Amino acid sequence: MFDTRLLGRRPGAMQSEQRTVAAPARMGLDLIAIAAGAPIELDLRLESVVEGVLVTGTVNAEAAGECSRCLGPLTQHVELYLTELFAYPGSITASTSEEDEVPRIEDDALNLEQVLVDTLGLELPLRPLCREDCAGLCLECGIDLAIAEPGHGHDRMDPRWAALAAKFGDPAADQPDDQASQDLQTEEN
Ligand SMILES: [Zn+2]
């Protein structure tokens, strides 16, 4: 929340804001987010323009989550660059746009939370990785391939897969009526 009264409404007036705030809630995506209460460093410039207040600057924070391949914990530094107009109520911008397109100044204050949530949603990776070349988990035994022995693999096929492979390896087995007609023949004989 920023109070815009100090800034005043004279276009061109400027105010810089350097603050560290605590995240009011978990902000981010399912697999990676800034935790509630985690510090968020704001280095912003508020500039009065005819239609409202233009906020520009950087936001720095640490996001935490889990690797989408190996499910190990990970942290990622997040740096966001903001350029956001907050419209004065009653301005032309406010009357020609929706509130979810252009945020509003309400009671002489602008609330950055929704802008941060939206920007994080675009900037954070949908599938975060603990490192670029994370090998993930072995599909057969689930071991983290990063700590498995070199060339980790499974020579023996799981009996269930072996049964499937045998079934689908035999073209005749694909025809569901086959077994039934054989049974019928056996009865007739
Ligand atoms: Zn990983």
Q: Enumerate the β-bridge partners of residue 90.
A: none
Name every residue whose Cβ is closer than 8 Å to that of residue 91 and which is 6 or more positions away in sequence: 50, 51, 52
Distance, CA 142 to ligand 1 centroid (Å)?
Answer: 13
What pLDDT is attached to residue 154? Answer: 77
**Better pLDDT: 87 or 169:** 87
Inter-residue contact 101 to 118 (CB < 8 Å): no
Residue 180 confidence (pLDDT) above 70: no
Distance, CA 143 to ligand 1 centroid (Å)?
Answer: 12
DSSP-derived secondary structure letter, 71: -
Distance, CA 160 to ligand 1 centroid (Å)?
Answer: 28
DSSP-derived secondary structure letter, 63: E
Distance, CA 136 to ligand 1 centroid (Å)?
Answer: 5
Distance, CA 67 to ligand 1 centroid (Å)?
Answer: 5
DSSP-derived secondary structure letter, 139: T
Find, among 53, 47, 55, the residue nearest to 116 by Cα: 55
Distance, CA 146 to ligand 1 centroid (Å)?
Answer: 8
Grouping H, G, I as helix, E, B as strand and the rest as coil, residue 21 is strand
What predicted TM-score, i.e. pTM, was given to this entire model?
A: 0.70
Distance, CA 26 to ligand 1 centroid (Å)?
Answer: 22
Distance, CA 23 to ligand 1 centroid (Å)?
Answer: 26
Structure-derived torsion over alpha carbons of residues 53, 58, 60, 66, reported in degrees to the nearest 10: 90
Grouping H, G, I as helix, E, B as strand and the rest as coil, residue 6 is coil
pLDDT bin (cut points 50, 70, 90) of residue 165 is confident
Distance, CA 1 to ligand 1 centroid (Å)?
Answer: 36
Among 36-50, 83-97, 117-131, 132-146, the range scoring the smallest mean pLDDT is 132-146
Distance, CA 69 to ligand 1 centroid (Å)?
Answer: 5
d(Cα 42, Cα 84) in Å, to the nearest integer? 14
Note the pLDDT tens digit of each residue in 7-39. 888 888 999 999 999 999 999 999 999 999 999
Distance, CA 72 to ligand 1 centroid (Å)?
Answer: 6
Please calculate the CA angle 72-74-76 and round it to the nearest 5 degrees: 160
